[in-house]
Chain A
Amino acid sequence: MERRDFLKTMAITGAAASSSTALFSGNAEAAGTLDIGEVKSVKIDVLSETSWFSNDNLKKSMLDYGGASTNQYTIPWDADNAGGYSSLITVTTLDGKDHKILMDSGWSNTWMDYVYEMHGIPRMLRNGEIEFMVLTHWHLDHYWGIESTLKHNPKIKIYAPATHYPEDMALLRDKAHHKATDKEGKQVPICKNDVPHTGELVLCSTEGEKGEGVYKPLPGMAIKLFDVPILLRVRGENVLYFNVKDKGIVTVTGCCHPGILSLFSEARRTFKDYKPYGCYGGLHLTLFETWDPKFDDVIRGVKSFGLQKVACNHCTGWLWAEKAAEAGIPIVKGTDKYKSYKRQSAVAKATNVFLTNGDTVVF
């Protein structure tokens, strides 16, 4: 209705508004037809959502070396500030069988080795219990810790965005040791991988497998690539959708660069009998704990979808999560388990509106 009000307002001051109305009423809400099946439940263990420990430190590196559009491989990042983003997803299919998926591999190998040990990930990788890995996107904090995963299972099947750069592929396959030049002209090591990936690599494109726009590694699960431009010269993000029986669609993201409402909207356009139920992941909103009126738009938009569970962390920003909770969005609260990790994010707060390190959510 508000859209119509907008058009009516325009009509007062400009002719031809009525003829444009037909054009504005697009088919954004057209229902999808793709049936991906169902799963019984989805459990997500947050291995680490702390991609870096200090926002100020990270921002300073970006600011000093060209800003948000700079190539991430040209910035001499502070290794001591590096953490990583990674989650373990356990999907229970309708036959009662559990399937484990690793989502992302973090940034610092030191941090990721520590986090993986805490959660028994090395063993699960070695014995094949983790069936495959989904790389959501090629950002440093999701990908540069790839050695921590591959050294336990270099043959693991990986779903990754097809929108990669040569440096990305060199790190995955060619034992690359990337360095960046600092202001003094010194070469600073920024990431490395001595264990090349030898397993199947599924490069996800927007066409998907069979031209359906998605990849379906398990019944009830779909991976969809959103080919969007992202800061630090990265492109494209894989998003995971699960259709949980009797509940609805659960959207799982790494950073949600395409925008959470866009993910919901795409699901509505794509999946048969779309019913939103929940979401998990970084929502890429008040990333650096700063506000903008467009974040108010997102709160209003998310509310309109009527989700039952919103579990967020990482680049969502505590500020947005707190305001969203105040506005009545069903934010899944975290616990104090993150304090058992040897390091914590500088922005973690007692409000626990983040599902943070060591926490679990079940959909």
Chain B
Amino acid sequence: MSEIVANQAERKNINVFFGLINLAVAFVVVSGLWFVFLHPNGVMALYTPMYGFSLLVAFVASIVLISKVTDFYPFAGPSLGTVSWGLVRTIAAVAIMLFLVYGFFWGFIGRFGITYFSPYSIIAAGGVGAEIFNARENASTAIVYLLTAFLWVALTWSAGFGQWPWVGVQRGPAALARIGIVGLLSTIAYVVLFHPHVCYLFFPAQTMAGVEPWWSKWAMTSSAYYNLGLLLSILMWVIVSDVLWEGYPWRIVDRKGQGNLWRGLFTLIGTFVLGILSFMALLAAMNIFWLEPFEGGQYTDAPYFRYLHAGEISTFVALAAFIVKTYFGNLVNGPNIWVRAALRTVAAAIGGTLFYLFYYSSLSTFLLGKVPGIAQPEDTPLVWTLLFLSVVLIQADFFAGWPLVRKEK
């Protein structure tokens, strides 16, 4: 797909000063959106947290669906200008998000197929905890998991397999084919990695629908945060290699730059290995700060928190990677790919660290209305990060970087 090339583009002519201004404006926009939709004492107060989390994941998934999976089909062409297309795509992403959550999951799958995807079906089924708040949180948890699996598969496919095996196929059929394969693989990933957790969210556990969480023996938790954290760690490398490393090293096996089977497998395995390594490194670092977690521990002592936190840190870095590319033209543009990739990665790591420090600072407590401290069970930085990410992605992908980047004549 064309994006696979676009994402690996060399440094664009972006003025760092204007990039900083754009980033500051984006931050203000994110803060405003947070107050309207998520702030506990704001307008809609959707950060419960899982309900707001599910809407944000659905929004990012919608953006990725339009930009990476369908390659902007049918939202591209000469009929509209950059800004007009940006607006149309943004409206389309919002519409898809609303359809996914309220139509597809709550109204269709949850109503006619799998109970736990709809809060109303959970309540109708009765039993312990079947009331709206808890039912909505549980349905939202399932949606978050499924759409996280989607993001992983979609971005890995985009970065590795690219147009394969539909090179030369018309855009419409190719887009539909990619929706099919990404949807299928996401469903399989969800069923194996997350469905057992959701089945054990209820009492009694839904043992005929899902196996007992198979990772609980070695992960010291039955929570699928283990898989979520690992997946987010892998996803970070998919994004970093795609956005900052210009597709290297995976594109070594892809001379045409369109994506192929070998590049796809190389990307899949390579990012998996890198993800495990960074996941373990982050867990080890947390052990130094908080000592070893233990089964049944809570807050920073909880194994499930440590896994989730590794994913949260990875997502901070992923956000910083997008910012380095979108607002600073990838910063470094020397002749050696390995050097510039390394320097950009360092910049993203520093950016991720700054986001981390911000999120757990008093400023964030004030701006976001959250409880100070780390590991509050009702708080995950993933929601704020996803909101920020969605703003960056909309500008970068839907508006082609406008107004920071002007179309070359």
Please give the residue numbers on chain A whose beta carbons come within 8 Å of chain B beta carbons, in ascending order.
2-3, 5-6, 9-10, 13-17, 20, 23-29, 56, 59-60, 62-63, 65-71, 74, 227-231, 233-235, 258-262, 265, 288-294, 296-302, 304, 319
Contacts and interface: CB of A to CB of B under 8 A. Distances in A.
Contacts of A25: 292
Contact of A293 (B128, B197, B287): B197
Nearest to B197: A293
Contacts of B131: 56, 59
B217 interface: yes
A291 B129 contact: yes
Contact of A292 (B223, B284, B299, B370): B223
Given A229-B373, A229-B374, 13 more contacts: A2-B217, A3-B218, A10-B280, A16-B277, A69-B371, A262-B299, A290-B138, A292-B223, A293-B222, A297-B220, A301-B296, A301-B297, A304-B295
Nearest to A301: B296
A259 B301 contact: yes
Contacts of A66: 39-42, 45
B310 to A, nearest CB: 13
A227 B373 contact: yes
Nearest to B219: A6
B61 to A, nearest CB: 23
Contact of A63 (B128, B132, B374): B132
A239 B40 CA distance: 28
A270 to B, nearest CB: 13
Contacts of B219: 6
B128 A289 contact: yes
A70 B303 CA distance: 27
A5 B370 contact: no
B133 A59 contact: yes
Interface string B206-236: 0000000100111111111000000000000
B218 A6 contact: yes
Given A23-B284, A227-B373, A297-B295, A13 B272 contact: yes
Contacts of A3: 218, 220, 292
B313 to A, nearest CB: 16
Interface string B272-290: 1100110011011101100
A146 to B, nearest CB: 22
A20 B40 contact: no
A27 B48 CA distance: 35
Contact of A235 (B47, B48, B372): B372
A68 B45 CA distance: 10
Most buried by A among B283, B292, B304, B371: B371
Contacts of A67: 40, 45, 47-49, 378
Given A261-B297, A291-B128, A292-B223, A69 B40 contact: yes
B13 interface: no
B248 interface: no
B37 interface: no
A297 B371 contact: no
A46 to B, nearest CB: 24
A24 B283 contact: yes
A260 B281 CA distance: 28
B41 A235 contact: no
Contacts of A265: 294, 297, 301
A131 B205 CA distance: 47
Nearest to B289: A26
B201 interface: yes
Given A5-B218, A24-B284, A262-B301, A69 B128 contact: no
A23 B200 CA distance: 32
A300 B288 CA distance: 25
A20 B284 contact: yes
Contact of A228 (B205, B217, B299): B299
Most buried by A among B205, B288, B373: B373
A28 B213 contact: no
Contacts of A29: 292
B296 A24 contact: no
A17 B373 contact: no
Interface in B122-137: 128-129, 131-134
Most buried by A among B197, B276, B374: B276
A299 B134 CA distance: 22
Contacts of A68: 48-49, 378
Most buried by B among A13, A14, A260, A293: A293
20 contacts: A6-B220, A10-B280, A23-B288, A27-B291, A28-B291, A60-B133, A66-B45, A68-B49, A70-B41, A228-B373, A229-B372, A235-B373, A262-B301, A290-B138, A293-B221, A293-B224, A297-B222, A297-B296, A300-B295, A300-B296
B221 A297 contact: yes
A228 B276 CA distance: 29
Given A2-B217, A258-B299, A259-B299, A290 B280 contact: no
Contacts of B201: 291-293
A2 B378 CA distance: 28
A28 B273 contact: no
Most buried by B among A2, A9, A262: A262
B277 A294 contact: no
A308 B259 CA distance: 62
A261 B213 contact: no
A304 B294 CA distance: 11
A256 B291 CA distance: 20
A63 B374 CA distance: 23
A260 to B, nearest CB: 8
A9 B218 contact: yes
Contacts of A288: 129, 133-134
B202 interface: yes
